[in-house]
Amino acid sequence: MCHRVSAGGAWQCSCGYEFGQSMQCLLVLLRDQQTSAWLTLALLLVLDAVAGWGAVLAALHGFIVLAALGFTALVLMTARTVHKLLLTRASLRHLTRRASVLPRAVVHRR
């Protein structure tokens, strides 16, 4: 789910996914993760807009360093959330394509 490397004998990833779960369970977990990432992104975009205005006002009053640090931290958190959302969407696309492809049926006649 998180595209991180885990130890060979690990039964659980650091993101909380337990290896060996069914494809349907994994799809549900990924959809939940996608919903959470969308909500987080919406909240962070609102906070980015507020922080942007706050940075401008703080810079006007001479606090440019503090304003820049806070705004940079929010932008980095937003970028991290976008990256997580893109990874989740790529995983969902890959798994739904893989789940929808059925093996070819072969009929043997005697």
- Domain assignment present for residue 49? The answer is yes
Q: Looking at the predicted structure, is the pLDDT value of residue 90 above 70?
A: yes
Percent of the chain having pLDDT more than 90? Answer: 25
Crossing angle of helices 23-60 and 64-100, in 10° steps, is 160
Domains: count for the chain: 1
pTM, two decimal places: 0.67
- Domain assignment present for residue 63? The answer is yes
The whole-number pLDDT of residue 1 equals 65
- Boundaries of domain holding 85: 44-98
DSSP class of 105: P
- Domain assignment present for residue 8? The answer is no
DSSP class of 18: B
Tell me which of 14-23, 81-90, 100-109 is least confident.
100-109
- Domain assignment present for residue 27? The answer is no
Q: Looking at the predicted structure, is the pLDDT value of residue 24 above 60?
A: yes
Quote the tokens at residue 75.
């932008």
Residue 77: pLDDT band (50, 70, 90) is very high
- Domain assignment present for residue 61? The answer is yes
User: Measured at the alpha carbon of residue 90, what is the angle toward residues 9 and 82, in degrees to the nearest 5?
Assistant: 100
